[in-house]
Each structure stands twice: as structure tokens, then as C-alpha cells.
Amino acid sequence: MLKRILIGLIRSHDTTGEKAKDPALKTRNYKLSRDQVWDEVVSMFKKMKGYKLLHEVKNVGEIVLEKRTITGRIQDITVTIISINPVKTSVDIYSASRGSLGDLGSNYRTILEIYNQLDKKLAAYKDSY
């Protein structure tokens, strides 16, 4: 965690991906159709405190959100939902803080919070690889 804060002194964004070095930032895959994952993700964000749904572009698989941090900074979050095949879907997240200073790891924590909620909600469908 200290490492994330130190990285956050200079960096004001974080992202997930298939090749992420940190296992917590690896793309999440679920054994569900893209439409099912989409509906679950949208309903999850409508219930999560502190997140403001700005827009959804279902045909592209993109959900754009905003979150205000404890320090008052605003994070812009993009959740990308991609269909791998008819019954497997992946979810990636990009989070960036507005402003020029680092984020002290807040984007990293935001991504983990979103993935934790999603993993709880879709636990029965999580794909381990």
C-alpha cells in the first residue's frame, strides 16, 4: 500500500488490463453475456455512494462516472465492458484525478472498490483465468 501512495505522489491515474503487474489490477472476466454484465454494472453504480453516472454508451460498452474524493478532487472513471464471446465478458477500469498533482493512490483504491463490489455481485460468474 505504501508503494501505491509513493507512486501516487507523481501519478494521478490508474488502469486495469490483461498485462497488469499488480494482480489486483488484472482485467476481470465473467461467465455472462455482455448485456447481463452491463445491466449488473449500471445497477451497481446507481446504488454505490459517491459515484455519479455521467453517461452510458451501451453499443461501445463504456460507462463514464465521476467520483469526488475525501480531499474534494474529482476522479473521472471509465468502465469498459467487452464481450469476449457470447457467454464471457471482461471488465476494465480507468480512473484519473483532475488536477496536476498526484493522487496518493486514490485511483488505485477506487478501482479496487469497484472490482470488489463487482466481484461480490457476480461471484457466481467470476472466471478465474
- Taking the C-alpha atoms of residue 81 and residue 5, their distance in angstroms, rounded to an integer, is 28
- All three cell numbers of 18, joined, read 490483461
Per CATH, the number for 2-127 is: 3.30.310.220
Question: Can you give the residue ranges of every domain in the chain?
Answer: 2-127
pTM for the full predicted model: 0.90
pLDDT, one tens digit per residue, over 65-108 is 999 988 888 999 999 999 999 999 999 999 999 987 777 888 99
Q: CB–CB of 10/3 below 8 Å?
A: no
Strand pairing of 88-97 and 28-30? Answer: antiparallel
H runs (alpha helix) in the chain: 2-8, 34-47, 106-121
